[in-house]
A and B are shown apart, each in its own frame.
Chain A
Amino acid sequence: MQVAIVTFPGSNCDYDCYKAITDILGEQAHFVWHRESHIDGADLVILPGGFSYGDYLRAGAIARFSPIMASVQDFAVQGGAVLGICNGFQILCEAGLLPGALIRNRSLKFLGQRVRVRVENATTRYTSAYSEGDVLALHIAHGEGGYVADAATLDRLESNGQVVFRYVDRHGQVTDEANPNGSMRNIAGIINEAGNVLGLMPHPERSVEAILGSTDGLGLFASIRDHFAGRPAARVLSAAGGR
């Protein structure tokens, strides 16, 4: 698998994604600078976390107009796999590649903490290594992670299986207390209707090594790798919840 990691000025999780793909997964990755206008030879495009262009206006609002985003759009429309993590999810929403929007956390504070998310749909190319209902320990680090959309959109997402990750408590229950940022229906990650564009607020790339406290994010990268390798995903999550 060849992964293109788009680097905007202000991206700060680009290197973390790169290390997860190369060191941990053993796959190929390269950086694509925001001023470039082509995505060549990539199976997967990652829009990483960070504060693109400082995010002084609204997270992702400027990045969507950067030169590279036109080709990311084309790539996605043609069915290419695009993964947006945190700021990348915000950019995908701003760019209209995913429905809805991400607003200020309801506490009005930046939140850096470990959360639990439940896999709601394990049939996507990003989640096939998980089972539906798996509870993952992942980190969030964002100020604008409250997912919002109108009721019709939310209903459509639910009925289409486009809600991929939801914030839950340690026992896998959807509760308001387990919802860190006020996301509607505890939504942590969604996929587009065609199933090729995924956005999520938690950082799977931060949970890929035991020494860092959790390997629960590995399944996401393994799923997409196996998708391109044409083999059924190996189940990598042995025990839900991590350490």
Chain B
Amino acid sequence: MATSSNDIAVRGPGPRAGDPPMTPELVADHGLSAEEYERIIDILGREPTFTELGVFSALWSEHCGYKNSRPLLRKLPTEAPWVLQGPGENAGVIDIGDGFAIAFKIESHNHPSAVEPYQGAATGVGGILRDVFTMGARPIAVLDALRFGSLARPRVRYLFAGVVKGIGDYGNCVGIPNLGGDVYFDDAYEGNPIVNAMAIGLMKKEDLIRGTASGPGNPIIAVGARTGRDGIHGATFASEELSEENEARRPQVQVGDPFTEKLLLEASLELIRSGHIVGIQDMGAAGLASSSSEMAARAGTGVDMDTSKMPTREPGMTPYEILLSESQERMLVVAKAGREADVERILNKWELEAAVIGQVTDDGLYRVRENGVTVCEIPGVELVQGCPTYVREARESDEVRRLREFRPGPAHLSPAQSNPGRVLLRLLASPTIASKRWVYNQYDTTVRTNTVLGPGGDAGVLRIRGTRRGLAATVDCNGRYVYLDPRKGAMIAVAEAARNIVCVGARPRAVTDNLNFGSPLKPENYYQLREAVLGMADACRAFDTPVVSGNVSLYNESPAGAIYPTPVIGMVGVLDDVESRIGAAFRTTGDTIILLGACTDELGASEYLKVLHGVTAGEVPAISLEGERALQEAILEMTGARLLCSAHDCAEGGVAVALAESAILAEDAFGVDAAIDSPLALAPLLFGEAQGRIVVSCAAQSAESVLAVAARHGVPAAAIGTVGRAGAEERFRLSAGGTTMDLSVAAIAEAYETAIPKLMDRSSGRDV
């Protein structure tokens, strides 16, 4: 091809009529630094067009480009023999045996949910489901990790109710059971709630497909909902702090349509199985721009697309808008050349619209046209992988260091000493500890008829149809711990997730993580991020649970400040025999209750200090990764040998809360008669949050075997009592240090079950 020297000088698209001129302000508005803009000019060899600026802005946002987190994320272990797909794809994939694999990932929708809770949360579920089924897996479970401010505030109640309804309505309509989640309430999340949704999909190993645009000449097809002006720059929005003006951001929140999602789900799985396509990806964050460029970059190809071929909801949309729209329920498919009609037939069956908008090329360029005229031409690899990464200044905040030096005094210990029963009831009624039935009763937890253990226990369990296996999943993170000690707190988050997995009898297998943090530009926040990732890395390595997917959500700040750093751990585990699963609830009168692990005098960072004294301070409980691993192995040996009737880990509220929960989680609550022999003060003994402890129950004749297994693994263990009779009038008796708390089971259940409904349904006075 003949090329004049002039062509080389002005290579690339010229300005497009109607686009604003390039100014430093425009660049700054796109969240790009001067240095990053220089890098763009270096890559292009010229100034970018407005369209190109928008594309760079989206792909180089934290949400897509991980520019502040990527150097840290490299510290995480990502490999194990059972890992089929690690980070970098739509979702991570692991082998669970018998020819099956699961794809799973967690993702945040914090900022949209802060502005429009219902749609923000609903579209979060929609996006994460698409990430899973675009790997070829049928979604089988959703979990949700939520953090809000205090329910005493009307605005928080509005956000909480809207988020729960949004998550429920979307997952319920698509027909994916909710398997579990966690909810914490703390003022630290007041202006910036956390809404993380995790999805798990199941597939035959051979059905695994990746989001690649390979094969020059293959057509690129946009499928699903039409493209509108909603959600433009959502990825950039997610990568900045929330401010007073965020109410005006409502138009950046997309609107979900779970019915179309269900059609997309069925059509996508049929397309993948048909063999007519080579790659498929959700048009999620940063829409067409990110999906098309990432698919090409993975395959080392280029693309040539024309935005005028994209079905839109309204006329007159610019290439900039079409590329960056985050309209929901859209997929990008790369088909095999010549199979367009076959693809169309499948999509027609599911009543989905589709349009060929371009094709794969071999020149490595990300080229976009409008009515044939090039408006964007960027070297593809640089666009996707050339985002500069930063190692920021890290410095622990002096305030946090001071808070950690706090030590509880006699006044802090006295409520537990004088009336431990009253303390227990107050802790059980703390919304963070109290039953979340108000939440999960709004979710369909049993559709697809695989749910063996639903929400409300330590981890959810599904059976894998056609095998003997089961799959367990949980999400966990105590942000208060991470705030007071990021490295230890993150280790504890991983350890708690693993404890929850083994408590149902499953072996921990892999992790997806959602790093919810404040702005990395502030040294104290970056310090939290760095230390938390290092802590996670150590724990994941110790437990053989590689991180195979995840999401980074920075800039979680409101005018009141940053949230607690909250690295939510989504963990999955496998049961070789699902029949060996156990729940958290006691099962049979007369069973022996055994406490595994050691009680300590630790009270720092506890829910006790928060609820009784309004104190968020002190040393975070010590964690021993070897000790945790030994505890996990001990429990798995016990469940494998069918020695246990129940297992429940001690978390917020300590051993007293764990015992009370095991007593009342059964449909018929059980009485308890227990005594803990220890010289420790009652506050740390009963309500301290020492790590590495699990309350189990077993038939009386198995108690000796359980203690023997524990001893063999070097796990401290003590028989502390027996399960009493079932019935609301039965007593919960727990003695320690010469004092006995003696409560009716009904009072315990009342405190635990009604706390959140009372706060939420004060007006209606009905519906639990």
A205-B447 Cα distance, complex, nearest whole Å: 10
A112 to B440, CA, bound (A): 8
Does B174 reach chain A (CB closer than 8 Å)?
yes
Bound: A211/B442 CA distance, A: 23
Are B259 and A112 in contact, with the CB atoms below 8 A?
A: no
Find A139's partner among B178, B260, B446 (CB 8 Å cutoff).
Answer: B446
Complex CA–CA separation, A49 to B174 (angstroms): 11
Contacts A54-B257, A107-B764, A109-B767: A15 and B263 contacting too (C-beta < 8 A)? no
Instruction: Report the minimum CB–CB distance from A205 to chain B (whole Å).
Output: 7
Cβ contacts under 8 Å, A203 to chain B:
446
The interface-forming segment of B165-173, B225-233, B731-739 is B165-173
> What 0/1 pattern do residues 244 to 267 of B give for CB contact below 8 A with A?
000000000000011110110000
Q: Are A141 and B172 in contact (CB under 8 A)?
A: yes
Which A residues are in CB contact (< 8 Å) with B450? 212
Question: Nearest CB to that of B176 among chain A residues?
Answer: A12
**Any A CB within 8 A of the CB of B134:** no
Check B175–A12 contact: CB distance below 8 A.
yes
Q: Which A residues touch B422, using CB under 8 A?
A: none
Take A15-B448, A212-B449 as given contacts and tell me if A51 and B440 are in contact as well, using a CB distance cutoff of 8 Å.
no
B738 to chain A, nearest CB (A): 39
Q: Contact at B442–A205, with CB atoms within 8 Å?
A: no
- Quote the shortest CB–CB distance from A172 to chain B (angstroms): 15
Q: Given A54-B259, A107-B766, A112 and B443 touching (CB < 8 A)?
A: yes
* Interface: B445 (CB within 8 A): yes
User: B579 at interface (Cβ–Cβ under 8 A)?
Assistant: yes
Least CB separation from A50: chain B residue? B175
- Say which residue of B165, B259, B446, B767 sits within 8 Å of A141 (CB atoms): B446
In the complex the two chains form, what is the Cα distance from A50 to B448 in whole Å? 11
Question: Is B578 interfacial (CB-CB < 8 Å)?
Answer: yes
Residue B524 is within 8 A (CB to CB) of chain A in the complex: no
Take A106-B766, A211-B579 as given contacts and tell me if A9 and B449 are in contact as well, using a CB distance cutoff of 8 Å: no
Chain A 39-69: CB-based contact to B (< 8 A → 1; otherwise 0): 0000000000111011110000000000000
Assembled-state Cα–Cα distance A153/B616 (Å): 60
How many B residues face the partner with a CB closer than 8 A? 36
Task: With CB as the reference atom, state the residue of chain A lying closest to B579.
Answer: A211
Q: Are B173 and A16 in contact (CB under 8 A)?
A: no
**What chain B residues lie within 8 Å of A106 (beta carbons)?**
766-767
Specify the chain B residue showing the minimal Cβ separation from A112: B444
For the complex, is A37 an interface residue (Cβ under 8 Å from B)? Answer: no
Q: Mark A189-208, 1 if CB is under 8 A from B, else 0.
A: 00000000000000101101
| Nearest CB in chain A: distance from B744 CB, A | 19
Q: Say yes or no: B173 contacts A112, CB within 8 Å.
A: no
Neighbour of B262 across the interface among A10, A107, A206, A213, CB < 8 A: A10
Shortest distance between the CB of B177 and any CB in chain A (Å): 9
Name the residue on A nearest B349 (C-beta).
Answer: A33
Given contacts A9-B350, A211-B578, contact A113 B441 (CB under 8 A): yes
Evaluate contact between A211 and B452: CB separation under 8 angstroms: yes
A111 touches B259 (CB 8 A): no
Q: Which residues of B contact A211 (CB under 8 A)?
A: 452, 463, 578-579
Interface assignment of A13: CB less than 8 Å from any CB of chain B? yes
Interface on chain A toward B: helix, strand, loop, or mixed SS? Answer: mixed
Q: Which residues of the other chain, A, contact B262 by a CB distance below 8 angstroms?
A: 9-10, 12, 51
Contact B172 A53 (CB under 8 A): no
Q: Mark B427-450, 1 if CB is under 8 A from A, else 0.
A: 000000000000011111111111
B68 at the interface (CB under 8 A from A): no
Whether the pair B263, A9 counts as a contact (CB closer than 8 A) is yes
Tell which of A20, A54, A110, A111 touches B449, judged by Cβ atoms closer than 8 Å.
A20
A141 x B449 contact (CB < 8 A): no
B606 touches A (CB below 8 Å): no
A109, B165: Cβ atoms closer than 8 Å: yes
- Counting CB contacts under 8 A, is A19 at the interface? yes
Which residues from chain A contact B178 at a C-beta distance below 8 Å? Answer: 112
Bound CA–CA A38/B165 (angstroms): 38
Name the B residues within 8 Å of A109 (CB-CB): 165, 441-442, 767
CA distance A51 to B444 in the complex (A): 13
Q: Which residue from A13, A16, A56 sits with its C-beta under 8 Å from B259?
A: A56
Min CB distance B223 to A, Å, is 15
- B19 in contact (CB, < 8 A): no
Q: In the complex, which residues of chain B have a beta carbon less than 8 angstroms from the beta carbon of A205?
A: 449
Quick check: A12 and B447 within 8 Å, CB to CB? yes
Partner of A16, one of B443, B447, B452: B447
Flag whether B514 is at the interface (Cβ < 8 A).
no
Is B353's beta carbon under 8 Å from chain A? no
Which residues in B have their C-beta under 8 angstroms from that of A141? 172, 444, 446-447
B351 at the interface (CB under 8 A from A): yes
Distance from B754 Cβ to chain A, minimum over Cβ atoms (Å): 14
Give the Cβ gap from B423 to chain A, nearest Cβ, in Å.
30
Question: B463 near A16 (CB under 8 angstroms)?
Answer: no
Q: Is B451 part of the binding interface, using a Cβ–Cβ cutoff of 8 Å?
A: yes
Complex formed: what's the CA distance from A53 to B448 in Å?
19
Nearest chain A CB to B676 CB, angstrom units: 31
Which A residue sits closest to B470, measured CB to CB?
A211
Please give me the residue from chain A that is nearest to B463 by CB atom: A211
Chain A residues with CB under 8 Å of B445's CB are: 112
Bound CA–CA A218/B61 (angstroms): 53
Could you pull out 13 A-B pairs where Cβ atoms are within 8 angstroms?
Answer: A9-B262, A12-B447, A19-B465, A51-B259, A53-B259, A54-B258, A110-B168, A110-B444, A112-B168, A112-B172, A141-B446, A211-B463, A212-B450
Rank and list the top 7 A-B pairs by shortest CB-CB distance, nearest first. Answer: A12-B175, A54-B259, A107-B767, A141-B444, A51-B173, A112-B444, A16-B449
Q: A10-B173, A107-B764 are in contact. List 13 more A-B contacts (CB 8 A).
A: A15-B448, A16-B447, A20-B449, A49-B447, A51-B262, A54-B258, A54-B260, A109-B442, A110-B442, A112-B168, A141-B446, A203-B446, A212-B451
Q: Measuring CB to CB, which residues of chain A are less than 8 angstroms from any residue of chain B?
A: 9-10, 12-13, 15-16, 19-20, 49-51, 53-56, 106-107, 109-113, 139, 141, 143, 203, 205-206, 208-209, 211-213
